[in-house]
């Protein structure tokens, strides 16, 4: 393969691998959900440049081999004559199907022993990991029922070898399993609540979510299992204490526009309708209906103590610094996006299909009152950073009603079973910062008096793409969270319009009896 064909093949694979990981020397070196890359094929060399906040590497690419969802790359490190291998894996859990099955069977035996020791007065009447797609259950979670006489507890557990994202999602499936158990044993047994078991030191997000479930609807119990000692330890759920979250200061809009006036003007000559998003006081993003194609950022120039703006462009993790030699590439990219990314655009075009949630978000920000005419269009922030120790969460849209009450808007363009509990995540962070008056301290809602009321949680999705399990999950949310589920017209790219509304009073709770 020539350097040009290597670069093209590598670029094609990476463009469809926004959540992939790069593995070198047996360990994950880059997570493309956060890292950046560039591919250059010229002068008879194909160079792969990868960088993140932690490291920066350049590898010369010699050969490529695709195996399933993994690209094996033969590379040469600078100054080292002997080639080595790195892998770009779209599938983060690289275990074989048989290895996963064996690990889950072994965990099931550990779990049975541990449950018997921890709850000697309860009888484990069933425990399985079988697939049940009708009820949204897969083999990742062990599901069972602990019984004593005419009462019992639903049990759901997940082992340490599963991905952290699967552990974080366990509460969603725990609630659904509790509901299944209550339906199956209605009139025969009182299923009092849920015992959810996760690996040691992996319960932070699950605990935060469980704290906002309705304690009157079920007994919510969270445990950590040490698989080496078979010891189960209970985790205190409703003692919320300090929430591990921090807010990022809102940039001064006029100052940022002044600082980046030249890059903004340049991009607007290529795409007058481009959206400008202020990421920080030192960086702005350029988007077309939510699809980011370039950024301008301050950078130090050699021999100059002053920072000057530079433009980088590309989709996803791909990034190139704009210069005279590649300006035509930026022009082609902008033209291609503009021709496809509009409501009447070709639906088979990747620019039309990419990041539908960001597209929806851009329309909501422009017309927030289409969701509810009680919202104040003057105050609308998108992608608000509210980071915790375990993630870098972005609140889709933060706005306020005309009464001054905050509203957290969680958006989904496609069916997502986790919508309600992800909404809880963002609501709890906003409520925490709001109770301490931090939004205005950090430059949000400047000059606007905010109501002391707790925020409203608004969950928005196309009407035919609301997951069937959503109503079940919403039944168990704490009454302290006032929420509303809005189903919008499937043709939302053409016009944003609400076609149905659900509130807590419209959904009946299934109790323990």
Confidence check: pLDDT of 438 > 60: yes
The domain spanning residue 122 has which CATH number? 3.40.1350.10
Question: Is residue 52 domain-resident?
Answer: yes
Count structural domains, the chain: 4
User: Of 299, 318, 353, which residue constitutes the final position of a domain?
Assistant: 353
Query: Percentage of the chain with pLDDT > 90?
Result: 67
Query: Residues 268, 230: one domain?
Result: no
Question: Is residue 69 domain-resident?
Answer: yes
Q: What is the pLDDT of residue 387?
A: 57
Based on DSSP, count helices (H) and strands (E) in the chain, helices before strands. Answer: 13, 25
Q: Which domain holds residue 9?
A: 3-89
Question: Which has more pLDDT, 93 or 181?
Answer: 181
Handedness of CA 146, 151, 154, 155 (dihedral sign): negative
User: Of 319, 353, 387, which residue constitutes the final position of a domain?
Assistant: 353
Task: Give the pairing of strands 456-462 and 291-300.
Answer: unpaired
Query: Residues 470, 346: one domain?
Result: no
Query: Residues 77, 160: one domain?
Result: no
User: Of 235, 261, 296, which residue constitutes the final position of a domain?
Assistant: 235
- What's the pLDDT band for 135 if we cut at 50, 70, 90? confident
Cα(144)–Cα(125) distance, integer angstroms: 7
Per residue in 390-423, pLDDT (tens digit) is 455 678 899 999 999 999 999 999 999 999 999 9
Per residue in 214-250, pLDDT (tens digit) is 999 999 999 999 999 999 999 999 865 556 677 888 8
Question: Is residue 476 domain-resident?
Answer: yes
Instruction: Count other C-beta atoms under 10 Å from residue 417's C-beta.
Output: 17
Question: Is residue 244 domain-resident?
Answer: no
Query: Residues 453, 490: one domain?
Result: yes
Query: Residues 362, 500: one domain?
Result: yes
pTM (predicted TM-score): 0.85
Question: Is residue 400 domain-resident?
Answer: yes
Cα(504)–Cα(502) distance, integer angstroms: 7
Question: 349: closest CA among 337, 359, 358, 360?
Answer: 337
Query: Residues 370, 231: one domain?
Result: no
Query: Residues 231, 104: one domain?
Result: yes
Confidence check: pLDDT of 32 > 50: yes
Question: Is residue 248 domain-resident?
Answer: no
Question: Is residue 291 domain-resident?
Answer: yes
Query: Residues 495, 361: one domain?
Result: yes
The domain spanning residue 319 has which CATH number? 3.30.310
Confidence check: pLDDT of 479 > 50: yes
Question: Which residues share a beta bridge with 278?
Answer: 284
Confidence check: pLDDT of 389 > 70: no
Q: What is the pLDDT of residue 95?
A: 78
Cα(103)–Cα(132) distance, integer angstroms: 19
> Which residues does 47 contact at the CB level (< 8 Å), separation at least 6?
39, 40, 41, 58, 59, 60, 61
Query: Residues 122, 73: one domain?
Result: no
Cα(435)–Cα(429) distance, integer angstroms: 10
Question: 475: closest CA among 143, 206, 132, 182?
Answer: 182
Q: What is the pLDDT of residue 91?
A: 79
Question: Is residue 129 domain-resident?
Answer: yes
Cα(385)–Cα(493) distance, integer angstroms: 26
Per residue in 306-361, pLDDT (tens digit) is 788 999 999 877 888 999 889 999 999 999 999 999 999 999 998 999 889 999 99
E strand spans, 414-510: 456-462, 482-488, 498-502
The helix (H) or strand (E) run that includes residue 212 is: none
Q: What is the pLDDT of residue 324?
A: 87
Query: Residues 345, 285: one domain?
Result: yes
Query: Residues 63, 50: one domain?
Result: yes
Confidence check: pLDDT of 513 > 50: no
Query: Residues 440, 368: one domain?
Result: yes
């Amino acid at each position: 393969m020539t350097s040009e064909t290597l670069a093209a093949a590598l670029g094609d694979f990476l463009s469809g691998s926004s959540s992939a990981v790069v593995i070198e020397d047996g360990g994950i070196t880059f997570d493309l959900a956060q890292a950046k890359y560039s591919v250059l094929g010229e002068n008879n060399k194909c160079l792969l440049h990868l960088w993140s906040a932690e490291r920066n590497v350049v590898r010369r690419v010699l050969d490529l081999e695709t195996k399933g969802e993994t690209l094996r790359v033969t590379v040469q490190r600078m100054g080292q004559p002997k080639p080595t291998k790195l892998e770009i894996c779209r599938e983060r859990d690289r275990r074989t199907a048989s290895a996963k099955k064996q690990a889950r069977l072994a965990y099931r035996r550990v779990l049975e022993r541990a449950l018997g020791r921890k709850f000697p007065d309860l009888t484990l009447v069933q425990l399985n990991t079988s697939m049940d797609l009708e009820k949204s259950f897969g083999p990742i979670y062990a599901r069972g029922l602990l019984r004593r006489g005419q009462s019992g507890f639903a049990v759901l557990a997940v082992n340490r070898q599963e991905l952290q994202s699967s552990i974080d999602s366990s509460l969603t499936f725990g609630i659904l399993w509790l509901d299944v158990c209550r339906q199956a044993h209605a009139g025969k047994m009182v299923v009092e609540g849920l015992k959810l078991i996760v690996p040691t030191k992996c319960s932070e997000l699950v605990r935060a979510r469980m704290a906002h479930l309705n304690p009157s609807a079920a007994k919510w119990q969270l445990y950590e299992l040490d698989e080496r000692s078979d010891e189960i330890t209970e985790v205190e759920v409703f003692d919320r204490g300090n929430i591990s979250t921090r807010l990022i200061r809102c940039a001064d809009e006029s100052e940022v526009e002044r600082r980046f006036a030249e890059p903004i003007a340049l991009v607007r000559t290529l795409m007058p309708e481009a959206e400008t998003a202020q990421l920080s006081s030192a960086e702005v993003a350029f988007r077309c209906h939510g699809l980011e194609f370039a950024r301008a950022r301050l950078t130090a120039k050699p021999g100059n103590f002053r920072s000057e703006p530079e433009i980088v462009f590309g989709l996803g993790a791909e990034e190139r610094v704009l210069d005279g030699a590649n300006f035509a590439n930026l022009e082609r990219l902008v033209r291609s996006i503009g021709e496809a990314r509009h409501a009447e655009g070709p639906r088979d075009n990747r620019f039309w299909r990419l990041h539908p949630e960001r597209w929806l978000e851009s329309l909501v920000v422009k017309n927030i009152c289409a969701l509810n005419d009680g919202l104040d269009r003057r105050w609308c922030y998108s992608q608000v950073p509210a980071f915790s120790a375990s993630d870098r969460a972005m609140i889709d849209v933060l706005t306020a009603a005309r009464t001054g009450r905050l509203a957290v808007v969680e958006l989904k363009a496609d069916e997502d079973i986790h919508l309600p509990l992800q909404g809880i995540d963002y609501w709890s962070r906003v409520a925490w910062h709001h109770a301490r008056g931090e939004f205005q301290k950090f430059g949000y809602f400047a000059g606007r008096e905010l109501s002391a009321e707790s925020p409203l949680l608004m969950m928005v999705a196309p009407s035919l793409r609301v997951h069937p399990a959503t109503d079940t999950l919403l039944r168990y949310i704490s009454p302290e969270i006032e929420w509303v589920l809005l189903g919008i017209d499937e043709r939302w790219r053409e016009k944003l319009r609400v076609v149905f509304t659900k509130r807590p009073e419209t959904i009946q709770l299934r109790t323990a009896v």
